[in-house]
């Protein structure tokens, strides 16, 4: 049975399911790109009492994700903070070392959390995973964004095509 749901199962007003991601916290040792860091667990339970923007992409270093999606969040990071966002979390099914490298290459590696959703497990629970095995990529996280406030979903944006219509930084900012 595929872990990919046919439709979005999480709705505005729902409490997010518990989830555990992997990420490499930024340290100064990572700045010169010769160190790899040590992956750690990052749990959704850490979002209790916080406002979190979750942005999920099919893959780090992929054209739309790398060239269009992430840059808007980097450019507008301070505005997200001014609007009360405690953390911006970028998710992909890539391993935590790739996510860490992506963050360091793109900037704000010490501010945005670049986390791995292993095998798109958490995204699958939300009904937001995508089966790209036909293209050789396996099960991936779909392109989506959530605003989560004290573990409750207050906004969901999904994308059906290759571009950004609903989940860009500017669209998310308009809902904060």
Distance CA 30, CA 102 (A): 12
Distance CA 149, CA 175 (A): 12
Going from N- to C-terminal start, the domains of the chain cover 20-173
Comparing 108 with 144, which gets the higher pLDDT? 144
The string of pLDDT tens digits covering residues 69-96 is: 899 999 999 999 999 999 999 999 999 9
The model's pTM:
0.91
Which residues are tagged catalytic? Answer: 65
> Which parts of the chain fold into alpha helices (H)?
63-64, 70-75, 77-82, 96-106, 121-125, 169-173
Residue 136: pLDDT band (50, 70, 90) is low
The predicted structure's pLDDT at residue 80: 98
Which residues, listed in sequence order, are joined to residue 21 by a DSSP beta bridge? 42
The string of pLDDT tens digits covering residues 95-122 is: 999 999 999 998 788 899 999 999 999 9
Of 3.20.20.20, 3.30.300.30, 3.40.1410.10, 3.40.30.10, the CATH number of 20-173 is 3.40.30.10
Contact 58, 92 (CB under 8 A): yes
Tell the residue number behind the tokens 């089966």, with chain if given: 131
Q: Supply the mean pLDDT for the chain.
A: 90
């Amino acid at each position: 049975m595929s872990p990919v749901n046919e439709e979005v199962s999480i709705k505005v007003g729902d409490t997010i399911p518990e989830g555990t991601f992997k990420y490499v916290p930024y340290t100064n040792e990572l700045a010169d790109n010769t160190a790899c860091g040590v992956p750690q667990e990052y749990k959704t339970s850490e979002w209790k009492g916080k406002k979190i923007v979750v942005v999920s992409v099919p893959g780090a270093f992929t054209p739309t994700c790398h060239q269009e999606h992430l840059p808007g969040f980097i450019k507008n990071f301070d505005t997200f903070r001014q609007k009360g966002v405690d953390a911006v979390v970028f998710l992909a099914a890539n391993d935590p070392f790739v996510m860490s490298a992506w963050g360091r290459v793109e900037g704000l590696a010490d501010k945005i959390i670049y986390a791995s959703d292993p095998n798109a497990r958490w995204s699958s629970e939300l009904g937001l995973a995508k089966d790209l095995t036909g293209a050789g990529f396996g099960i991936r996280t779909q392109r989506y964004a959530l605003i989560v406030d004290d573990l409750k979903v207050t906004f969901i944006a999904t994308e059906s095509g290759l571009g950004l219509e609903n989940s860009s930084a500017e669209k998310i900012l308009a809902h904060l």
